[in-house]
Chain A
Amino acid sequence: MTGALEVRGVTKRYGKLKAVDNVSFTVEPGQIVGFIGPNGAGKTTTMRICATLVYPDTGDVLVRGKSVLDDPREVRKMLGFMPDSYGTYSNTTIWEYLDFFARAYGLRGDARARRVGEVMEFTSLAPLQEKEIASLSKGMKQRLCLAKTLLHDPPVMILDEPAAGLDPRARVELRELVHALAGMKKSILLSSHILTELTEMCDSVLVIESGELKASGALADLKRKLRPTALVFVRTLQGVEATERALLELPGVERVRAEGEGVMFEHQGGPEGLAATLAALIRVGLAPIEFTPQELDLEEVFLSLTQGKLQ
């Protein structure tokens, strides 16, 4: 069995520019995959190809085994796409908007009323259903768009920058909604500029730049790949110089340098090596008050994977 969303060697050119260059990846059911890349990297183009809005020059995308080139109508039935510039109609209330798209997706009679109720409940829009869309805040519009995307209950969802322009509170709410959706075994591909958001939201990430996929995998794997050595900050009661001297004697310790009131060093030995180092420091009579392996944050992963080339 193939993945829920399978992108196979997709390339899309605009004139001379390769907006997407031989990109392949798979999203499994229930998986949340984040899509990161600088502006113009080709995220939106890739997502629009998956959503049948743009056809690839070469390659194919399979949504539950159906090809976007052969059966675009079948694919649309199984796919919820939320574009980055979502549209809303003027002079239309939340309920009318959702009712319209439910009709557009062929929902009839009671089934439609029920489904519109469900998605409004899920996105907490039910109390606002009589409000006109024009009067909604950005966060509310974003939720409305998500509700619209959920109407036909698609197993695969593609969200283009869903967190853009949301305040921290709305972002947290969005994250909870996305997790709830993954809990329903939906496959979710989402792009974002807010990197810390992706850390909390995604099981794995895809890094894309200039149309090429630079790296992919679970975040922890990516970090390990980028920095095989652990970076540790240590502070002892005995002061910087004594600590430095002691560390230089120990096996596996590299690049020792003073930093503020403590010392920073790199170590290659993995968790056991770090434990041994700490034990050795105590053995030589130092009293550590801080011994902290530094987390590599996503921002750094991002920066070190992409060269900051802008297209």
Chain B
Amino acid sequence: MPTAFSDRLNPILVKEVRAALRGRVFRILFPLVAVVAVFVAMINLMDLNPARDANVGRDFLEPIYVMLCIALLGIVPLTAFFSMGSEWEENTFDLLSISDLRPRHIVFGKLLSAGIEATLYFSAFVPLLVMAFLLRGIDIGALSFCLLFTYLASFAASALALALSSLSRIRIVRVLLLCMVAAGGIGLVAAAYEITQSLVMRGASSVSSRAWDQAIITFGFMAAALFLGTTVACERLSHPEENHSTGPRVLVTTIYASLLGFCTYMWFSLGGTARNIVEPLIMVLFIASLAHVFFVTEREDMTHRVRRSVPANRFLAILATPFLPGGGRALLLFGLHVLMASAVLTVGLVRARTRSSGDLPDVVLFELLTAFAAYLFIYLGVVSWVARKYSARTGARWIARVAIPVTFVLGILLPAFFSFVVGGRPDFDHALNPFVMFYNWSKAAGGAGDKVIVAAILVGLLNLPRVVSGVLEVLRASAENRTRSKATE
């Protein structure tokens, strides 16, 4: 290997490949998989009857493909899982953290080694795959597509396995995580088999454009899994006192803004009633609130490292406040997101002056959006307010994170259950269920939103001290950093 090239390789990749070549897994498992594949292929070949079946290649391909899937979607992610785990078990992770390597180097190194492993398995199967093609009955386009799909899925699955492996160092939890990786692997093999069945086995002629659409969506999901897996793993590998929140907050805000933009664009291009814009906006806000569940339950105070990263400029510090870690500051970010949605709604309504007769008045549309946001705010605000004192503890944070959706679901189910048992409708009439309210409103053209909004204002007041101290903490840190930068000058 020329030195200049070898120098540029990821150190983790070099190390893992060297160790793999020496290791038991590779020396035994790889030949074993290859031998079994050839053996199965031989048996299968003896069974085939070209005279009876014109599509011999498909019958031949089936078991081979399943085995390839098991290797790529089962063995490779599992190896990635163990490879990450070995860094904790062998106490080498500290040594890596004090080197020049950053978490992303470690994660990408491990991901690339998984890719190399997948490539090796792949190349072992290539002769058999070529043979399947030569036996006829297989559409080369569909087959290549499926293989590409499987190969990429292997990356995505490895990224998720790395992320899961980085979640915990507690043995019992790791066993559970391992089961998740294994179960996910089995699911993926089944899914890959299904997709191949519909694409390759039925022949290209019967492949509808709908199947291709689905395939493209599947690619989208894989890209998302790859992205999510590497992001989570990188986050988990960086020091617990570093800033883990600003990145995700900016990312979520960006995705949120693009979704809002996308909704408006679709609405403009497709046309439709004014109501048609509110519904997607509410949906997007709901999706964003899933991320807020994590943000509002973060520990309230900033760690030392985060304090030092606050902009020294007072104005910039205030602008950055919703994006800095801490539950109180996350409520500001939620407010910002609601404002963004309202702004989009305003623009939409101003642009769309032509109205159909059955449309709701502007005020009601705003009321719908505000009331829905108020619902979300109440659930986020109350639970995280109760948990705020304990938010420095990891366990408490996770309990709060689970508690928010649970109270949300209970708020919807309990009154319904109550009315079912007692018989007759309870007075508050699904007051805790935003969807029922939403439905009633759009029918009755408004009203009744006041109660929720008043409740949300009360929750806001409850949280006010927390938010204010969150802002003051940022200002203090900013002032600290100003004096420090003056001192070093």
Asked whether A108 lies within 8 Å of B94 as measured between CB atoms, the reply is: no
Point out the residue from B24, B87, B99 that lies within 8 Å of A101, measured CB to CB: B99
Asked whether A91 lies within 8 Å of B22 as measured between CB atoms, the reply is: yes
Which chain A residues lie closer than 8 Å to B91 at the CB level?
83, 85-87
Asked whether A89 lies within 8 Å of B239 as measured between CB atoms, the reply is: no
Which chain A residues lie closer than 8 Å to B303 at the CB level?
55
Contact of B489 with A by CB under 8 A: no
Asked whether A53 lies within 8 Å of B23 as measured between CB atoms, the reply is: no
Contact of B305 with A by CB under 8 A: yes
Which chain A residues lie closer than 8 Å to B87 at the CB level?
87
Contact of B101 with A by CB under 8 A: yes
Which chain A residues lie closer than 8 Å to B24 at the CB level?
91
Nearest chain A CB to B6's CB is how many angstroms away? 9
Which chain B residues lie closer than 8 Å to A69 at the CB level?
304-305, 308
Residues of B77-111 contacting chain A, CB below 8 A: 86-87, 90-101
Nearest chain B CB to A227's CB is how many angstroms away? 40
Asked whether A148 lies within 8 Å of B94 as measured between CB atoms, the reply is: no
Contact of A90 with B by CB under 8 A: yes
Which chain A residues lie closer than 8 Å to B239 at the CB level?
55
Asked whether B90 lies within 8 Å of A90 as measured between CB atoms, the reply is: yes
Contact of B15 with A by CB under 8 A: yes
Which chain A residues lie closer than 8 Å to B4 at the CB level?
109
Number of A-B residue pairs, CB cutoff 8 Å, is: 85
Asked whether A104 lies within 8 Å of B94 as measured between CB atoms, the reply is: no
Contact of B3 with A by CB under 8 A: yes
Asked whether A87 lies within 8 Å of B18 as measured between CB atoms, the reply is: no
Nearest chain A CB to B455's CB is how many angstroms away? 37
Which chain B residues lie closer than 8 Å to A73 at the CB level?
100
* Alpha-carbon gap, A96 to B98, bound state (A): 19
Contact of A79 with B by CB under 8 A: yes
* Alpha-carbon gap, A99 to B100, bound state (A): 14
Nearest chain B CB to A79's CB is how many angstroms away? 7
The residue on A at minimum CB distance from B106 is A104
Which chain A residues lie closer than 8 Å to B266 at the CB level?
none
Asked whether A53 lies within 8 Å of B22 as measured between CB atoms, the reply is: no
Contact of B7 with A by CB under 8 A: yes
Given contacts A51-B98, A55-B241, A103-B11, A89 and B304 within 8 Å (CB-CB):
no
Nearest chain A CB to B356's CB is how many angstroms away? 60
Which chain B residues lie closer than 8 Å to A88 at the CB level?
90, 92
* Alpha-carbon gap, A73 to B101, bound state (A): 10
Asked whether B22 lies within 8 Å of A105 as measured between CB atoms, the reply is: no
Asked whether B98 lies within 8 Å of A76 as measured between CB atoms, the reply is: yes
Interface size on B, residues (CB 8 A): 32
Nearest chain B CB to A177's CB is how many angstroms away? 19
Nearest chain A CB to B33's CB is how many angstroms away? 19
Q: Mark A78-112, 1 if CB is under 8 A from B, else 0.
A: 01010101111111100010011101111011101
Point out the residue from A87, A96, A99 that lies within 8 Å of B93, measured CB to CB: A87
Nearest chain B CB to A87's CB is how many angstroms away? 3
Asked whether B308 lies within 8 Å of A70 as measured between CB atoms, the reply is: yes
Asked whether A87 lies within 8 Å of B95 as measured between CB atoms, the reply is: yes
Contact of A46 with B by CB under 8 A: no
Asked whether B99 lies within 8 Å of A55 as measured between CB atoms, the reply is: no
Asked whether B100 lies within 8 Å of A104 as measured between CB atoms, the reply is: yes
Which chain A residues lie closer than 8 Å to B14 at the CB level?
99-100, 103
Contact of A52 with B by CB under 8 A: yes
Asked whether A55 lies within 8 Å of B304 as measured between CB atoms, the reply is: yes
Asked whether B15 lies within 8 Å of A92 as measured between CB atoms, the reply is: yes
Given contacts A88-B90, A104-B100, A83 and B95 within 8 Å (CB-CB):
yes
How large, as a class, is the contact surface on chain A? 35 or more
Which chain B residues lie closer than 8 Å to A110 at the CB level?
3
Residues of B113-156 contacting chain A, CB below 8 A: none
Which chain A residues lie closer than 8 Å to B94 at the CB level?
53, 81, 83, 87
Given contacts A55-B304, A88-B92, A108-B7, A96 and B15 within 8 Å (CB-CB):
yes
Given contacts A53-B97, A53-B98, A91 and B23 within 8 Å (CB-CB):
yes
* Alpha-carbon gap, A89 to B93, bound state (A): 11
Asked whether B96 lies within 8 Å of A55 as measured between CB atoms, the reply is: no
Which chain A residues lie closer than 8 Å to B90 at the CB level?
87-90
* Alpha-carbon gap, A70 to B308, bound state (A): 7
Q: Mark B226-268, 1 if CB is under 8 A from A, else 0.
A: 0000000000000101000000000000000000000000000
The residue on A at minimum CB distance from B241 is A55
Asked whether B101 lies within 8 Å of A104 as measured between CB atoms, the reply is: yes
Contact of B316 with A by CB under 8 A: no
The residue on B at minimum CB distance from A85 is B91
Residues of A108-123 contacting chain B, CB below 8 A: 108-110, 112
Residues of A53-76 contacting chain B, CB below 8 A: 53, 55-57, 69-70, 73, 76
Which chain B residues lie closer than 8 Å to A57 at the CB level?
304
* Alpha-carbon gap, A86 to B96, bound state (A): 11
Asked whether B22 lies within 8 Å of A92 as measured between CB atoms, the reply is: yes
* Alpha-carbon gap, A52 to B15, bound state (A): 24
Interface centre among A88, A100, A105 (most CB of B within 10 A): A100
Contact of B19 with A by CB under 8 A: yes
Which chain B residues lie closer than 8 Å to A53 at the CB level?
94, 97-98
Asked whether A96 lies within 8 Å of B18 as measured between CB atoms, the reply is: yes
Given contacts A88-B92, A91-B23, A92-B15, A105 and B97 within 8 Å (CB-CB):
no
- Residue ranges of A at the interface with B (Cβ–Cβ < 8 Å): 51-53, 55-57, 69-70, 73, 76-77, 79, 81, 83, 85-92, 96, 99-101, 103-106, 108-110, 112, 132, 148
Top 4 nearest A-B pairs (CB, nearest first) are A87-B92, A87-B91, A103-B11, A104-B99
- Residue ranges of B at the interface with A (Cβ–Cβ < 8 Å): 3-4, 7, 11, 14-15, 18-20, 22-24, 86-87, 90-101, 239, 241, 303-305, 308
Could you show 23 A-B contacts with beta carbons less than 8 Å apart?
A: A52-B98, A56-B304, A57-B304, A69-B304, A76-B99, A81-B94, A87-B87, A87-B91, A87-B94, A89-B15, A89-B92, A90-B23, A90-B86, A92-B22, A96-B15, A96-B18, A99-B14, A104-B11, A104-B96, A105-B100, A108-B7, A109-B7, A132-B22
Instruction: Give me 6 other A-B pairs in contact (C-beta within 8 A), A100-B15, A101-B99, A103-B7 excluded.
Output: A69-B304, A87-B87, A89-B86, A92-B19, A105-B100, A132-B22
